[in-house]
Amino acid sequence: MNTKSKLVAVIAGVALLAAGGAGAAVWWMQSHRAHPAGDAKAEAPKEEVKPAPDYKYVTLDKVLVMLRGPNGSAVSHYMAVDIVFKALPEQEKRTKEHLPLLRTVAVKALSVHTVESASAMSVEDFALLLNKAYQASYAAERREPPFAEALIGKLIIE
């Protein structure tokens, strides 16, 4: 019996070591899967993802601009643009109050184009042109624009 109890004790010891080794392997694999870059202290802290602000959209309808002819002469061609201003909710009222100024800046920026140059431009080109004109206008007055971006809602060239 003495040999039987020794044999049972050895088998129980081997089983215990195998179970401990398997448990350690599972723990090690899970800890490295959670931190693939290595040491958790060396990793940069994760930035919280902030939700995008809920913008309001203010429209400036029917900005009409007479276009010039090829040699700078006046012709009976025009451009009609609807501009949409993307503003934060707290800036919506201020953007509406600035619509007359925004119309003036748009007419000034767009009236330098000929029929050919305006026809060759894309909607994105017009939006970029207007945003630059608005930034320059507000920078000259040393003020911040009350909107984040000007977008083109409608563009007609005739």
Nearest alpha-carbon partner for 83 in 17, 151, 142 = 151
Global pTM? Answer: 0.64
At 115-126, the pLDDT tens digits run: 888 889 999 999
| pLDDT value of position 73 | 67
Is the domain defined by 56-157 classed in CATH 3.30.479? Answer: yes
Element (H, E) at 64: strand 56-68
Q: For tokens 């870059």, what's the residue? A: 37
Q: How far apart are CA 67 and CA 150, in angstroms?
A: 21
At 52-96, the pLDDT tens digits run: 778 999 999 999 998 887 776 667 788 999 999 999 999 999 999
Q: DSSP per residue over 90-154, as a string?
A: GGHHHHHHTHHHHHHHHHHHHTT-BHHHHHH--HHHHHHHHHHHHHHHHHHTT---SSSEEEEEE
Domain residue ranges of the chain, discontinuous segments joined by +: 1-50, 56-157
At 105-158, the pLDDT tens digits run: 999 999 888 888 888 999 999 999 999 999 999 999 899 999 999 999 999 998
Q: How far apart are CA 150 and CA 137, in angstroms?
A: 13
